[in-house]
Amino acid sequence: MLQNPSFPWLLHLSGFFSQRNWNCKTKHLQPLASPISSGKLMRYTAASFLRQNNMLFIRSFMVLFLCCITVKINLCFSGIPYSLKTLTLDGHLNFDEVHNAARDFGNRYQLLPSAVLHPNSVSDIATTVKHIWEMGSHSELTVAARGHGHSLQGQAQAHQGVVINMESLQGPKMQVYAENSFYVDVSGGELWINILHESVKYGLAPKSWTDYLHLTVGGTLSNAGISGQAFQHGPQISNVHQLEVVTGKGEIINCSEKQNSELFHSVLGGLGQFGIITRARISLEPAPDMVKWIRVLYSDFATFARDQEYLISAEKTFDYIEGFVMVNRTGLLNNWRSSFDPQDPVQASQFKSDGQTLFCLELAKYINKDEKDLVNQEVESSLSVLNYIPSTLFLSEVSYIEFLDRVHVSEVKLRSKGLWEVPHPWLNLFIPQSKIHDFAREVFGNILAETSNGPILIYPLNKSKWDNRTSVVIPEEDVFYLVAFLSSAVPSSKGTDGLEHILTQNKRILEYCETARLGVKQYLPHYTTQEQWRSHFGPQWEVFVQRKSTYDPLAILAPGQRIFQKAMPFS
């Protein structure tokens, strides 16, 4: 029987035909009570036979009609159009094992897709997207590209749509070019850690990184990609020569600053709204042999910020500059001793961090073996003008790969303790330089005065290193700060380490920023209404909408960002 409540008229018809008009059982003719002539009897028998056959025919037709409608309804409401199963692909669509595609690093949203595409080629992606594009606006199918699953708010999920497993993408092998200009051609599903290992074989490496390298190229380029090198080289999206993109119409387009430049700049930082990055050409530079890794502490935020801002503008400076906030940490310097050596062990042993909010400046200087003495002199000279707490100078020398892949060490430890796959209610903000002191006073001195539930990164960036033609949104000032609250929640906890408490803290931070009119912009943004997105983009909103209508007019791509809804007007 039909069970779909959206079609009650079918239930009524089904009952009407089966219960009221006809009985399915065969009826046998009985002798009549009154005598009838043989002619009349023959005519009556023939009429009765025809009437019964007509009824059987009509009933059979109605059963067939209802069955056809049932099949159509079931196909429609299953979320899996039959036509998807007929696509000719080098890879395959999986309609059964889809649960992993409904999870991400944030561990807060789980939206099941109808299918997961495991592409063996770019044409697999184009074929699938084009097919959904040709289905038109009456189809609710959408498409999300999923890399290593490091999204925080379900951005790479597609409820009852198709999720593309970008790590399955097979294509031309990663190719490093080490003559004349240095660059590497890679798949959009390639991990940055693999690019590092391959490029250093040629003595080269990308210029700009993220802190965590087990992310895909397409994923970081769809946002920005930032770390401690960004003050000098800009984000990763400022270090791309060329892209191959599949648009929301299923077109495969090569683009660069000189070729299809509007698409090129749209996709970079475009949150997956204009196309799926299937291949990228990344700029490289000579890779160092070693890294001198330094940490120093400050108890005064103003001094800490002044030193950071000085370093990102100095002619001779470090290759990597970051900072982080430590709220009420105990035994801090003793924890560092496993990786760093204090310059003055006696003074370091006497330093007490209990109960204080401290600010750590983290620096790195790249070293080649034949320039080690010169680099050490430059480091000493640069440190001499800073105003950190003298007893807190810690140094270490590690390999280049070990330094860049430093977060993965923490991941391994957390996984071993079952603490990696927990909710991660992260909040990433860009704060204008002129407002950073107000922000620090309220957030570190009040909202988070007693505890934090993970690292809090804070460091300045130079706007001049960002390309304003891309889709990413940053503050207007020449210098702005990244402040990243990288919290982890303890499952089922109702205390200060629980998800609800952390989300409440995040809400208080955002409400303060809005009330104080700080001009803050979210990095890795998350909003639930188009009005909020319009506010986020500000003057760039109309350009963003125009780009969407050009490259993905049906709003097929990246529905998890919740910016546009399929078959709804954009503006």
Rounded to whole angstroms, the Cα distance separating 48 from 52 reads 6
- 167, 211, 378, 438: which is the annotated catalytic residue? 211
Whole-Å CA distances, 557 to 248, 311, 515:
6, 41, 34
List the structure tokens of 424.
């991660």
Q: How many of the other CB atoms lie within 10 Å of CB of 446?
A: 10
DSSP per-residue string spanning 337-401 = TTT-EESSHHHHHH---TT-EEEEEEEEEEE-GGGHHHHHHHHHHHHHT----GGG-EEEEEEHH
Rounded to whole angstroms, the Cα distance separating 500 from 560 reads 22
Rounded to whole angstroms, the Cα distance separating 141 from 414 reads 37
For 344-349, the CB contacts below 8 A with 24+ separation are: 344/390, 344/391, 344/393, 347/390, 347/391, 348/391, 348/392, 348/394
Element (H, E) at 350: helix 345-350
Residues 6+ apart with CB under 8 A from 424: 105, 106, 107, 108, 152, 486, 487, 488, 489
Q: Is 322 helix (H, G, I), strand (E, B) or coil?
A: strand
- 244, 322, 362, 442: which is the annotated catalytic residue? 322
For β-strands 162-165 and 143-146, DSSP reports them as parallel
CA-angle at 248, arms to 247 and 252, nearest 5°: 30
- Residues in a beta bridge with 177: 183
Rounded to whole angstroms, the Cα distance separating 498 from 475 reads 31
Task: Note if 405 is an active site residue.
Answer: no
DSSP state, 331?
A: S
Contact 348, 394 (CB under 8 A): yes
Rounded to whole angstroms, the Cα distance separating 391 from 488 reads 31
Task: Note if 322 is an active site residue.
Answer: yes
Task: Note if 257 is an active site residue.
Answer: no
Rounded to whole angstroms, the Cα distance separating 239 from 236 reads 5
Residue with tokens 């380490």: 497
- 118, 131, 150, 424: which is the annotated catalytic residue? 150
E runs forming strands in 48-200? 92-94, 115-118, 143-146, 162-165, 175-177, 183-187
Rounded to whole angstroms, the Cα distance separating 341 from 246 reads 50
- Asked whether the CA dihedral 406, 110, 430, 499 is positive or negative, the reply is negative
DSSP per-residue string spanning 493-543 = --STTSHHHHHHHHHHHHHHHHHTT---EEES---SSHHHHHHHHGGGHHH
List the structure tokens of 334.
């003793």
Contact 333, 254 (CB under 8 A): no
The closest of 386, 431, 122, 111 to 250, measured between CA atoms, is 122
One-letter amino acid for residue 374 of the chain: L
Q: List the catalytic residues.
A: 150, 211, 322
